[in-house]
Amino acid sequence: MRLGFDATICQDLEHSSRLEWLETNGLGGFASGTVSGIHTRRYHGLLTSALHPPVGRMLLVAKFEDTLIVDGQRVELSANRYDGAVHPQGYEYLREFRLDPFPTWVYEIGDVLVEKRIFMVHGQDATIVEYEVKGLCKNCHLEVRPLIAYRDYHATTHSNESIDKGFDWEEEGLVSVQLYDGLPRVYFGADYSNCEPTGHSYHRFEYAEEKARGLDFQEDLFQPFVLHFELARSPKAVVIVSRAGIPAYEATALRERERLRRMALRHHAPIAETFLEDLAEAADQFVVRRGDGHTIIAGYPWFGDWGRDTMIALPGLTLMN
């Protein structure tokens, strides 16, 4: 699917916060958010995993807070809404957002461009976040702060004393967290230069859509560590969030495999027209595994597979595509 917005839309906070993106993994898991970077729903997150595919969904990792440091100047690229405030305001640097085929943000800081890409790996509980700096940036540094939810995707979570605030170094370039016993361990494969422990919570994020629905609209998220990347050594940085412990060096091959898979979906469209190719690519997000077979998700972000909806959608999602 090819779709894009320029700075006029990206830097309009209200408009870009209503534009949502979605990545799915064919197992019932997904990643989603808005163009501005502000989460407006409790369902927005970087890794929502179906523990019993395609159901039993848990939102494990909510988002990254990312900061570019150029010649000592800190530039916050993310954005959050709190009670009466938006902080940081990274959308002010957004020059472009596009789906090509993955959600991609382009930030402009002086003469430096930062391209950020997010995609899920089909058939795996894994989300890959890639950064690339373009332009003259001899003294550039990137900080990535994961914000962890670890909750049912229909709920919200709040700071408590039961959280395991530690994390484990599994091997070089791979760290993991497990906030509560009995829940899945989440791994972060990254080509970082340093991993700095933090272990504190961010309080009272606000989700506008949940507030409008009359539901609990505030949440606390846990921040276990900061990943540091020296971009003078390499202009690229990668973080793979997964339940399987995928190392960062696999990102390039996984991206190419996923790109080719989506190209193949477009080629299966009944007529070689862009609109129908877009529909064929989008339709694939609703067909997921259940046991040894497949089923159809009734809709994102909150539906599972419903028999009625499956029968209604079956001709369009399967026979025509």
Highest mean pLDDT among 86-100, 159-173, 307-321: 86-100
Angle, nearest 10°, between helix axes 274-283 and 251-267? 120
Confidence of residue 70 (pLDDT cuts 50, 70, 90): very high
Q: Where are the domains of the chain?
A: 3-249
Please give the backbone phi and psi of residue 275, each rounded to the nearest 5 degrees, phi first: -60, -45
For residue 319, the model assigns a pLDDT of 62
Contacts of 280 (CB under 8 A, 6+ apart): 265, 266, 268, 269, 321
**Fold of the CATH domain 3-249:** Beta-galactosidase; Chain A, domain 5 (2.70.98)
Q: Using a pLDDT cut of 70, give the percent of the chain over it.
A: 99
Contact 127, 23 (CB under 8 A): yes
Once rounded to an integer, what is the mean pLDDT over residues 37-57? 98
| Per-residue model confidence as pLDDT tens digits over 1-14 | 578 999 999 999 99
Which pLDDT score is estimated for 321? Answer: 58
Q: What is the DSSP string of 81-102?
A: EETTEEEEEGGGGEEEEEESSS
Quick: pLDDT tens for 176-217. 999 999 999 999 999 999 999 999 999 999 999 999 999 999
